[in-house]
Amino acid sequence: MQLDPQTQKTIDTWLSGNYDEKTKSTIQQLIDEQASTELTDSFYKSLEFGTGGLRGIMGVGSNRINKYTIGTATQGLSNYLLKKYPSEKICVAIAHDSRNNSDVFANITADVFSANGIKVYFFTALRPTPELSFAIRELDCKSGVMLTASHNPKEYNGYKAYGPDGGQFTSPDDQMVMDEVAAIQSIDEVKFQRNEANIEMIGDEIDQKYLNQITALSVSPDAISRQKNLKIVYSPIHGTGITLVPPALAQFGFTNVTVVEEQSKPDGNFPTVVYPNPEEKEALTLALKKAEEIDADLVLATDPDADRVGIAVKNTDGNFVLLNGNQTGSLLVNYVLTAWQEKGKLTGNEYVVSTIVTTPLIKAIADEKGVEYFDTLTGFKWIGKVMTELLGKKQFVVGGEESYGYLVGDLVRDKDAVISCAFIAEMTAFYKDKGSSLYEAMIEMYVKYGMYKEDLVSITKKGKTGAEEIKAMMEKFRNNPPATLGGSAVVTLKDYELNKETDINAGTSKKLGFPKSDVLQFITADGSIISARPSGTEPKIKFYCSVNEPLASASDFKATEQKLNDKIKTIMNDLQA
């Protein structure tokens, strides 16, 4: 069996180094079985911080999530913190989700921090990611870690690292942490010996502060009081949402919440779903069944770490349909800004943030309301960065991204499904109080601003070979961009890797002004926007497509929707030609 020299060197290091016998015997078994593909994928590189921190398949190896990669990451983060704050008391917060081994990895993280003399606030039990972000700011921490792989399959786990603002690390600090991790030459440099004196357990008191501050954000409590019996079905999909979403809904004033019993218990095997992702219709099967049984007004489902939420509502034919992340995000922005406007709260100092692959409808809404709009790269850490930079200067109201992550208010610096569930329920009550369903409110939004339709195609390419294939696909699009898409000429090419926007007709270019990111965007003459982007957290390349056209009246909705769907299909076929 012939392996790449660097891969073989790393394997040899693990076999001869200070690793436990179970790890070594597992590696030896793979060698004996000549499992070259698995050995290569497990050892050909070290896991790196991407847009979502450290994330990967659990198992042995430098490219897997295990005690040693978690320990090395935490030692590197500790070294970074000790250098950055040499004369200050350093505190960190740690939380974990319901995934298999998340609690084990959380304790290993606490071991290493505490062994480095860093004070650890450790949640007594599983908690949502956004509460960890809240706790960092509330407890004046310098950093925090959430053990989660978000909505990935059960084989995955991960490690989200946060800065003192409660947001995930961005440039230059993310690179500084990566450099410290990379500088660790031996597992012997990692301090695994736990120091109990440096660990303080936290829980209920943070929960209540968080819930109280969420409730204070409510804009339409009077509408809720009149619609408190709104029928809501909620599923945590075996995750952390069960700890805080039902209490948040109750504290907002909703009295008729039905939890999907089969999915209410936290379980890292996610036994009732193929994929614990609220973006997938299959994950909401049980919730939709329950909704039909009780004739619900709203279906809510959160992912395992409760930072994303998917929703379903009844359409004009009385059938439950899932809204995509762009639809929900647009509705939420439109509702919050409208409610603020009605209450006279818009002063001209407010702003909204979204990402370059999220629907342009959000900007259209913000523009019409006279609210400043900011664009960021993909990943909520960039939205959080804008919020931190503008703290004390302007007021963040609402924002979000197409991947089902939203935020209302500035309590946290990450997407927050707890806050979002409460506000989506409030939004539903607000429109019901005016005699409208959420679906009808969406159509009216399209009549006012134009109908926007988006779709996302993800192509999975696993392992080292897959990573090389994704790179080749991006090079092909970069070197030979399509001339037309969906029958419309490509007039603008935005290359975020090269920081360049090119006007194809004029043959001129200008800088984009974003941090470097491997994203290509094609804009056509008719206003369609098509983006190609390798995922930072999964072995996928993603193609985003946004098309739009005016909607004259609600009666034209179905025909216009079909027309836009057909256009998206043509564009996606053109991309793969």
DSSP 43-88: HSS----BTTBEEEEBSSSTTSBSHHHHHHHHHHHHHHHHHHSTTS
Sheet hosting strand 91-96, strand order edge to edge: 54-57, 156-162, 143-147, 91-96, 119-123, 199-202
Q: Which amino acid is at 473?
A: M
CATH of the domain at 127: 3.40.120.10
Note whether 112 and 238 are same-domain residues. no
Note whether 327 and 269 are same-domain residues. yes
Is 555 a known active-site residue? no
Pairwise CA distance, residues 356 & 362, whole Å:
11
> For residue 477, what are the contacts with CB-CB under 8 A and spacing of at least 6?
520, 532
Please report the pLDDT score of residue 47 as a whole number.
85
Domain that holds residue 40: 1-44
- With beta carbons less than 8 A apart as the criterion, state whether 411 and 213 touch: yes
Note whether 287 and 425 are same-domain residues. yes
Q: Give the model confidence (pLDDT) of 435-493 as tens digits.
A: 999 999 999 999 999 999 999 988 898 888 888 999 999 999 999 999 999 999 999 99
Could you say which of 423, 449, 475 is where a domain stops? 449
Partner residues linked to 322 by β-bridges: 312
Query: What is the DSSP pairing of strand 143-147 with strand 91-96?
Result: parallel
Note whether 428 and 296 are same-domain residues. yes
Q: Which of 230, 234, 228, 250 is nearest to 300 (CA)?
A: 234
Note whether 291 and 353 are same-domain residues. yes
**How many independent structural domains does the chain possess?**
4
Note whether 240 and 315 are same-domain residues. yes
| Whether the bond into 236 is cis, omega within 30 of 0 | no
Pairwise CA distance, residues 479 & 495, whole Å:
11
Please report the pLDDT score of residue 50 as a whole number.
59
Phi–psi pair at 498, nearest 5 degrees: -95, 0
Please report the pLDDT score of residue 539 as a whole number.
85
- With beta carbons less than 8 A apart as the criterion, state whether 321 and 561 touch: no
Radius of gyration of the chain (CA): 24
Q: Which amino acid is at 418?
A: V
Note whether 124 and 192 are same-domain residues. yes
Please report the pLDDT score of residue 493 as a whole number.
97
Q: Give the model confidence (pLDDT) of 135-157 as tens digits.
A: 999 999 999 999 999 988 999 99
Pairwise CA distance, residues 454 & 544, whole Å:
7
Note whether 179 and 322 are same-domain residues. no
Please report the pLDDT score of residue 51 as a whole number.
54
Pairwise CA distance, residues 184 & 104, whole Å:
22
Task: Please pick, among 42, 102, 150, 437, the residue that the annotation labels catalytic.
Answer: 150
- Residue 168 is classified by DSSP as B
Could you say which of 426, 449, 472 is where a domain stops? 449
Please report the pLDDT score of residue 309 as a whole number.
98
Residue numbers of the chain with a pLDDT score lower than 70: 49-52, 537, 577
Helices (H), 231-379: 241-252, 285-294, 325-342, 361-369
CATH of the domain at 497: 3.30.310
- With beta carbons less than 8 A apart as the criterion, state whether 97 and 304 touch: yes
> For residue 529, what are the contacts with CB-CB under 8 A and spacing of at least 6?
360, 521, 522, 523, 544, 545, 546
Pairwise CA distance, residues 337 & 342, whole Å:
9
Note whether 559 and 435 are same-domain residues. no
Q: Which amino acid is at 471?
A: K
Q: Which amino acid is at 98?
A: S
Please report the pLDDT score of residue 52 as a whole number.
59
Note whether 26 and 82 are same-domain residues. no
DSSP reduced 3-state for 484? strand
Could you say which of 398, 414, 449 is where a domain stops? 449
- Residue 169 is classified by DSSP as P
Note whether 118 and 244 are same-domain residues. no
Note whether 255 and 107 are same-domain residues. no
Tell me the two tokens of residue 159.
């490690």
Pairwise CA distance, residues 242 & 220, whole Å:
24
